[in-house]
Structures are given as C-alpha cells and as structure tokens.
Chain A
Amino acid sequence: MREDLDKAIALKSEIARMEADNNAVLATARAEAMQILQHTLDTIADYKTRQLRDFEEELTQKSKEAQEMLIQEKQALMGNISDLVTKATVTVASKLLDQPLKAREVKAAVDQVMKKKSA
C-alpha cells in the first residue's frame, strides 16, 4: 500500500513536471514562430530594398538613355530644319506671290534668315 501511494505521488509529481515541460515547449514553439515571422519580415524588407534599388538604377539609366536619344533626335531634326522651312516657305510664298518660286532661291533665303537668327 505504502509503495502504491509512493508510486502515485511520484507519478503526480512527474505529471506536474511534464506539464511544465509542455508549457515550456509551447512557449518555445511560439517564440520560434515569432522568430520565423520576424526573419521573414526582415528578408522581405531586404529583398524589397534590393529590388527597388536595382529597379531605380535600371530605370534611371534607361530614362537617361532615352533622354539622350531624344536630344540627339531633336538635334538631328533641328539640323534638317532648313529643309522643312524651305518646303513650308515655298508653299506659302508661292501662294502669296501667285507665282512659282525656285526651291534653291528659297533655301538661300532660309539660310540667310537662320544665320541672322543664330547671330
């Protein structure tokens, strides 16, 4: 009888100890889950920062290239502007004067005006 009682008491205390262990395991699991989440958050934040930085660099580079191309195209068109002005002037001046004008003469006039303008 004494032996049974002792066994029962020992079992009870063992159960109490195991319950405490269970609680500890639960707390550890919760802490690990929190760590996993925190780690995920940090990893995501790092990834976002890196991706955004790379994207911004690429975007800046590409927009810079596009702007340079635009400037070059504009300059090229400005270089050929005298042809456009000549064509437009021939059309307008011929109508106003009611007589056909020679493109070569008009071109000379355009060059003269452009030279005067740039000066």
Chain B
Amino acid sequence: MDASLVSLISFVIFIGVFIKYGYQRIVRILDAHISATKHALTMAHDTKEEAASALHEHYLLQEDVTKAISVILTRAQEEAETLKKKAFQDLEELMINRKKFVDQVMERLQYQAVQDIKDQVATLTIETVRHILQKELSSAKHKELNQLALQRIGVVLKSTLPAI
C-alpha cells in the first residue's frame, strides 16, 4: 500500500473521530462560554443601570436629607420661639396676678385703717358728748328734752295707730 494513501486514510479516520467525539464538545463549550459572556454582559449592564439609578436616587435622597434637616431646624426654632413667647406670657400673667393680689391686700389694709380711725373717732365723740352732757345738762333742760321726746312719741303714735 502506498504510504500517502495510508496517511490519507489515517487522516480521514482522525477527522471522523474528531467530528464524532471532539467537535460537538468544543461547540458546546464555546456555546456555554458565549452564553456566560452574554449573561455577564447583561449582568454588568443591569448592574450599571442599577448603579446609575441608585446614584440618581441617592442625589434625590441627599436633597431630601438637606430639606429634612432644614425643616427640623426650622421647626425647632419655631417651637423654641413659641415656647419663649408662651413663657413670657405666663410670666407676665403671673406677675400681674401677684401684683393684683398685693394691691388688693393693700387696699384692704388701707380700708381697715380708715375704718379703725372712724370707729375710734366715733367712739371717742360719743364718750365725750356723754361726758359733756352729764356735766352741762341742767335738770330743767333735761325735763324739757324728755317732754320734747314724749311729744314726738305721741305724734308718731297718732300718725301710725288706727283711730279707735
């Protein structure tokens, strides 16, 4: 047999064996690799999209945070202002009420002092008049005053009692 024919036959056999056992495997490996690469590409794209979206969200969130901080501080300031106003009002009211109470006490004391003086003057005047009357009133004058009083009583009785 010719050597080149043998080589040819061997080559054909090799090609046949290769096609039968190796080609499909290589194709499968290559397909799997392509698929994995495609999947990785998709994943990378998705992740990139997610990252971009997250970055956008993050910017929005940061704006929200800034706004929220501003709102918190404004509210705290407003609340502090309200508390301050309320405290001043309460304090003023308390002071006014306290002063009013003290004024009332002083008025009562003043009224009491005037009353005391009046009572004292009245008592002393009565005492002194009695003293003078006991000393100065003559028996004739005494009788005259009694008579006058009786006449007055008579007049009053006539005008008030029904006629018999």
Contacts and interface: CB of A to CB of B under 8 A. Distances in A.
Interface of A: 1, 4-5, 8-9, 11-12, 15, 18-19, 22, 25-26, 29-30, 33-34, 36-37, 40-41, 44, 47-48, 51-52, 55-56, 59, 63, 66-67, 70, 73-74, 77-78, 81-82, 84-85, 88-89, 92-93, 96-98, 101, 106, 109-110, 112-114, 117
Given A25-B65, A109-B132, A33 B73 contact: yes
Contacts of B131: 109, 112-113
A59 B102 contact: yes
A19 B51 CA distance: 13
B132 A66 contact: no
Interface residues of B, number: 56
Given A26-B68, A29-B73, A84-B121, A110 B47 contact: no
Contacts of B137: 97
A6 B36 CA distance: 17
A109 B57 CA distance: 107
Q: Decide if the interface of chain B is mainly helix, strand, loop or mixed.
A: helix
B87 to A, nearest CB: 4
B33 interface: no
22 contacts: A4-B48, A8-B50, A11-B54, A12-B50, A15-B54, A18-B62, A25-B65, A36-B80, A40-B83, A59-B102, A63-B105, A74-B113, A81-B121, A89-B125, A92-B129, A93-B128, A93-B129, A93-B132, A96-B129, A97-B136, A106-B128, A112-B131
Contacts of A109: 128, 131-132, 135
